Structure 1
């Protein structure tokens, strides 16, 4: 045998084994370089993403919707906090079957960014006037403390921005591959139960870091939450980065930091860094984590371009090590793990403040409101001398600095304008996304169905003595937190008994993001026709009431219930 033949034989792979493929680049800037791997990344690198704002003012608002190039409509408009909404004549069966360009209308949704939920009568009145004058009186509180408007024309956007900016608000950076609105405790600085006031950290991040262009081309969205309240009232388990109040035995009140949470089609619960962070270091740690995401986050596939995938692959120990060595330049302080709060995280009802006054939390059903209602709410607040109002991650409104003697009268006045100061458990614990009415990703109508569902449950079941959290989501992306609800409905197109393709839902049962964290139990092969959602909830809750043991929660019952009781 010749040397050449022998060498060839030795180099050949073992029979039955294929040589390992070279892994595809994931678009991690520090590893693969910055060459764009798909069109969205190309668009993001062509120019400053916020340059499109001036084109809206100078060109599109004067020449109309048809003058807007496709790449400005999507993705660039996202950086301005605006999306095209869904055409009203296209049903959910077309979602995913035709392109976004075919689904989109010439009207816009705008997300008004309210970091920390810091509203006021003046701000609500201005948003209400914008809603009334430009948005067909639509307005929705979101579970990220924002307010969303619909039916906007591009011709009116510059005037809307001027009105928002006059009261310190904006839609810019409300969407896009940027740090989204920073969730904060709605009662920061006033609550008697507070561990530490996080407001100074949120203000620094919002003022000094979020506007910095170095954070305007992240792999995808970056969700943040910071709360020093003992109720842990900012859904910290499902954020990219979050800080919750924690008391260090040596250093006192500060924060425990979590990274890598998120829901959508690949839900993951955030993991603690195992560190205690003093308040003056929170912005630095926030920026370090955002830079890790920018430099190491996966950009090749949009559905994997979230921080949670990097944290899952690296592990929390490596993530902390990279944060400390490459981005902070110092070790973080090891800290205690804060016990999970098992109770209510919302702020419904009257609660004492540190200064002897009270705050009052009320509920707009599923966060839905109108321009006229916002104006009326502002007038009620001013009548009672209230200058501070807060939005919340549970779509509530919280009125601060209320005198004890005014609590009952304020509650009645807010009830009269369509809010609920003493909501039933159903009204208190229901949440929905925008749904098929406006969203191009949706398969099912959610918001109007949720409003009707609350009325139906109050009539057919009455109130209930344990929380049963219901979430209606129009698609799998879980904007309404489907997988961590007691009863979560995920929109799908399903086939009814006559063979028609209709709106429907897959059901998640018994999910939780705090106690016994899990993403819900699915009943195998079971779907619910949209028109039968009320019957389904009544049936399952009736089984719960019949079968529960004393002090058993709905989630505990779900874990042990037979499948027949869940159909």
Structure 2
């Protein structure tokens, strides 16, 4: 071992010790707008608006003023953001192309019509509710209606003058648009077969209902840094996309305590995608609402409010780490320790509920799909009529934009499927139709660059005509902008809309390509083909070529995303 020898021991004159330069004073920490650290003084205009007047206060102004005075009477801060708290916001002008997105302000892009979002917490619906929404669609929304991947129904072309009447009709059947948008807890996702599936671990419906009726109305949850997405399912299919939620509870069996929930926090997509992390706890059914409220309060008190693009729970979880997040939740919000719990095993098979499945009571549920969730007011009424014809009183919506008809007698299954096929709902769709997802796109969205929904329908028709079907699942996502409402990063083929340059140098609608994303077994955001863009005109040929390459090169049992991750770049172009 070499010993340390000083300069003095070597007879060398020791130089005078130079004075260390004084350390510059540490720069003060920049405020992130975290209420419990930085105080509640607003740091931007959206926060000022929320501090000035609660979002839901605008509801009464709609009823008493705007419905009479009309669109031009709505004050700018009520128009955006407060009306979002009521589940409505302006849609895009029809005469403005995607090349103007990001070039014009929101006020310049918006029309005098609204999108309206009707909540279906847990996906729970009745034929009477569908009939009412269908009639509203026909009378007030130019017969538009779309099922969303958050189990809601969205209407378009809504005029402010008709909103109070629409609210009254929805209220008469137990539906609401309140808290459908805005910086609030959005609709609570739930298993569409809660309480009836033969393979269910635990029915989460009581927890969803308690959150919906007891917690959501509280004003303390109506001013969050931004939106908050949560989901609860006790089904082993894990049918709520828990990996990309701010907060999710999925069913798991504890070796000592029995059925309960595994908890995930901090998931989300958009421009900074993150997979949710396990808290490492087991939560019993009766404690779910308390844990839900505790996590929302952490987000309210510690979430970043200064910059809107960082005002999501996932950024706080990433910065804190899961251990600190659990510690703060237990010590400061729940005031009790949570039980350590096992991870729920992954669900590698289909998570959707298409087809015919047994219920625990001996009856069956039937799952069908409208292509990309697109429907009309007339079709909603027809759905209600078919349900009435077969004595069905319970319908469910799903995160895959399906519809489920519960409590079907064995002798009625085939006839029900035939009746649903007659109105455009497919019980046995091709894998292309089964796995296609799109956002609203340029037709109505002010953030979009490209048309998506009609293009997705055309793409499915084209692939079925040219390829027939596929023998493995294939998720295709068309998104109009980078925000990933259609879950681009977790699709087998993710298509992110943007303006691109074609071979002739023209600026046209197109897509950036993202391949091999997945949730479930080995969740991952897949492979982005940097610099590879496809024009909308080329889209059908590109997907056809890509699927054919997969069919030619795959090994036995190889899924599409596994082939993508090993394929040569040229084969993916």
Whether TM-score is above 0.5 comes out as yes
Look up the match of 2:324. Answer: 318
- Paired residues for 1:125-524 under 5 Å: 125-524=131-530
Distance change in 2, residues 1:249/1:494 (3 Å)? same
Look up the match of 1:98. Answer: 104
User: Could you tell me how far apart the structure 1 residues matched to 2:563 and 2:334 are?
Assistant: 46
**2:132 partner SS:** helix
Counterpart of 2:77 (choices 71, 82, 97) is: 71
Look up the match of 2:535. Answer: 529
User: Could you tell me how far apart the structure 1 residues matched to 2:276 and 2:346 are?
Assistant: 13
User: Could you tell me how far apart the structure 2 residues matched to 1:552 and 1:362 are?
Assistant: 27
**2:529 partner SS:** coil
Look up the match of 1:5. Answer: none
User: Could you tell me how far apart the structure 2 residues matched to 1:532 and 1:393 are?
Assistant: 29
Deviations for 1:256-312, whole angstroms, at most 9, x for unmatched residues?
Answer: 010000000000000010000000000000000000000000000000000000000
CA contact (8 A) 2:518 2:524 kept: yes
User: Could you tell me how far apart the structure 1 residues matched to 2:22 and 2:502 are?
Assistant: 54
**1:173 partner SS:** coil
User: Could you tell me how far apart the structure 2 residues matched to 1:49 and 1:380 are?
Assistant: 39
Q: Do structure 1's residue 540 and structure 2's residue 546 form an aligned pair?
A: yes
Shift of 1:82: 0.3
Shift of 1:21: 2.6
**1:493 partner SS:** strand
Which consecutive unaligned segments of at least 5 residues does structure 1 have?
A: 1-8
Between Structure 1 and Structure 2, whose CA radius of gyration is higher?
Answer: 2
Counterpart of 1:40 (choices 42, 46, 49) is: 46
Q: Do structure 1's residue 109 and structure 2's residue 115 form an aligned pair?
A: yes
**1:436 partner SS:** helix
**1:525 partner SS:** strand
Deviations for 1:155-214, whole angstroms, at most 9, x for unmatched residues?
Answer: 000000000000000101000000000000000000001000000000000000011000
**1:338 partner SS:** coil
CA contact (8 A) 2:526 2:565 kept: no
User: Could you tell me how far apart the structure 2 residues matched to 1:483 and 1:513 are?
Assistant: 10
Which consecutive unaligned segments of at least 5 residues does structure 2 have?
A: 1-17
Q: Normalized against structure 1, the TM-score is what?
A: 0.97
Counterpart of 2:568 (choices 546, 562, 567) is: 562
Look up the match of 1:4. Answer: none
Shift of 1:10: 6.0
Shift of 1:496: 1.0
**2:379 partner SS:** helix
User: Could you tell me how far apart the structure 2 residues matched to 1:338 and 1:154 are?
Assistant: 46
Shift of 1:386: 0.1
- Paired residues for 1:15-54 under 5 Å: 20-54=26-60
Shift of 1:12: 4.4
Displacement over 3 Å in runs of 4+: 9-14
CA contact (8 A) 2:116 2:155 kept: yes
Deviations for 1:73-116, whole angstroms, at most 9, x for unmatched residues?
Answer: 10001100001000000000000011000000000000001100
Deviations for 1:331-387, whole angstroms, at most 9, x for unmatched residues?
Answer: 000011111101100000000000000000000000000000000010000000000
**1:457 partner SS:** helix
Q: Could you tell which deviates more after superposition, 48-57 or 355-364? A: 48-57
In the comparison of the two structures, how many residue pairs are matched? 556
User: Could you tell me how far apart the structure 2 residues matched to 1:497 and 1:251 are?
Assistant: 63
CA contact (8 A) 2:49 2:77 kept: yes
Deviations for 1:387-420, whole angstroms, at most 9, x for unmatched residues?
Answer: 0000000000000000011000000000001111
Shift of 1:20: 4.2
Q: Normalized against structure 2, the TM-score is what?
A: 0.96
**1:506 partner SS:** strand
User: Could you tell me how far apart the structure 2 residues matched to 1:154 and 1:11 are?
Assistant: 69
Q: Could you tell which deviates more after superposition, 108-117 or 520-529? A: 520-529
CA contact (8 A) 2:437 2:476 kept: yes
**2:295 partner SS:** helix
User: Could you tell me how far apart the structure 2 residues matched to 1:392 and 1:532 are?
Assistant: 31
Counterpart of 2:63 (choices 46, 57, 69) is: 57
User: Could you tell me how far apart the structure 1 residues matched to 2:544 and 2:285 are?
Assistant: 46
User: Could you tell me how far apart the structure 1 residues matched to 2:63 and 2:504 are?
Assistant: 51
Shift of 1:530: 1.1
Deviations for 1:106-165, whole angstroms, at most 9, x for unmatched residues?
Answer: 000000011000111000000000000000000000000000000010000000000000
User: Could you tell me how far apart the structure 1 residues matched to 2:118 and 2:390 are?
Assistant: 26
Shift of 1:62: 0.3
Look up the match of 2:91. Answer: 85
Shift of 1:22: 2.1
Distance change in 2, residues 1:313/1:422 (3 Å)? same
